[in-house]
């Protein structure tokens, strides 16, 4: 693993350079979309389409590059994200940052979002309680899906990486366990018909609970990096 990381340090620098060059050439075409992404963000911030909108503190729209080639999608905001209004903060977020860095990416070069934009709580009556997080249910995911689809349409990523079981099941519409589907390229079609290649992998929080999963995520990131290099 250590040798492999050394090898990837130099390759990551080269990939960063290529992604930056390629992003520059896409900028003029995509910059007009940023305004529309901002409009969508405003819409999400006032959304009450599902009950999660009634108990959230801050809607968590997404962060990153509006012209990103890779979009990472997690399940939903937790306690800290609800307060900061940003996805993947805290320990899982720090680990995600390291995972991105290992293949020459960063929070600034990718786009990070969730299947739902508001914090699902076990007990919405106690929003200040810790350990109150829960995964979003199917109704909430379906209510929020148009926002995710519009984000994908506006950002137009070449690749989506789903982080964890909930996001993967939500986007692939199947019940296969993450351990079976991770590392295997699939496709996701938005409501408008845009088709994007999708790679499932484990959620960073799962890696914190079980460090043995890190080598599998590392394989998935190498897989992603390889596909990025083909298009660079």
- Give the footprint of ligand SF4 on this chain (CB under 6 A): 44, 47-50, 52-53, 59, 116-118, 140, 143-144, 147
CB of 116 to ligand SF4, least distance (A): 4
Q: Which is nearer to ligand SF4, 137 or 229 (CB)?
A: 137
CB of 199 to ligand SF4, least distance (A): 24
Tokens read off for 173: 């519409």
CB of 74 to ligand SF4, least distance (A): 13
Secondary structure (DSSP) of the chain? -HHHHHHHHHHHHHHHHHHHHHHHHHHHHHHHHHHHHHHHHHHHHT--SSTHHHH-SS----EE-TT-SEEEEES---HHHHHHT-SS-HHHHHHHHHHHHHTT--TTTSEEEESSSS--BS-TT-TT-SS-B----HHHHHHHHHHHHHHHHHH--SEEEEESHHHHHHHHTS---HHHHTT--EEEE-TT--EEEEEEE--HHHHHH-GGGHHHHHHHHHHHHHHHHHH-
CB of 22 to ligand SF4, least distance (A): 32
CB of 119 to ligand SF4, least distance (A): 9
Q: Which is nearer to ligand SF4, 44 or 199 (CB)?
A: 44
CB of 141 to ligand SF4, least distance (A): 9
Cβ-proximal residue to ligand SF4, closest one? 53
CA dihedral 60, 69, 221, 160 (to 10 degrees): 60
Q: Which is nearer to ligand SF4, 53 or 93 (CB)?
A: 53
Q: Which is nearer to ligand SF4, 29 or 42 (CB)?
A: 42
Q: Which is nearer to ligand SF4, 47 or 63 (CB)?
A: 47
**Cα(88)–Cα(222) distance, rounded to whole angstroms?**
21
Q: Which is nearer to ligand SF4, 3 or 138 (CB)?
A: 138
Q: Which is nearer to ligand SF4, 49 or 91 (CB)?
A: 49
CB of 87 to ligand SF4, least distance (A): 13
Dihedral of CA 48/52/54/58: which sign?
negative
């Amino acid at each position: 693993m250590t040798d492999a990381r050394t090898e990837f340090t130099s390759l990551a620098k080269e990939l960063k350079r290529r992604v930056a060059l390629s992003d520059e050439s896409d900028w003029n075409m995509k910059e007009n979309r940023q305004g529309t992404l901002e409009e969508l963000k405003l819409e999400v911030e006032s959304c009450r389409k599902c009950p999660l909108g009634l108990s959230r503190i801050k809607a968590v729209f997404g962060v990153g590059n509006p012209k990103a080639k890779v979009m990472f999608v997690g399940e939903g905001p937790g306690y800290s994200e609800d307060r900061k209004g940003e996805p993947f903060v805290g320990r899982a977020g720090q680990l995600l940052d390291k995972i991105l860095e290992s293949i020459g990416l960063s929070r600034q070069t990718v786009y990070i979002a969730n299947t739902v934009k508001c914090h699902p709580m076990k007990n919405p009556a106690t929003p200040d309680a810790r350990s109150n997080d829960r995964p979003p249910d199917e109704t909430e995911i379906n209510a929020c899906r148009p926002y995710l689809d519009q984000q994908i349409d506006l950002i137009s990523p070449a690749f989506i990486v789903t982080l964890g079981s909930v996001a993967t099941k939500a986007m692939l519409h199947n019940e296969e366990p993450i351990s079976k589907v991770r590392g295997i390229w699939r496709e996701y079609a938005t409501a408008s018909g845009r088709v994007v290649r999708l790679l499932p992998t484990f959620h960073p929080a799962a890696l914190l609970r079980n460090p043995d999963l890190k080598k599998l995520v590392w394989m998935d990131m190498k897989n992603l990096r390889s596909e990025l290099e083909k298009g660079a």
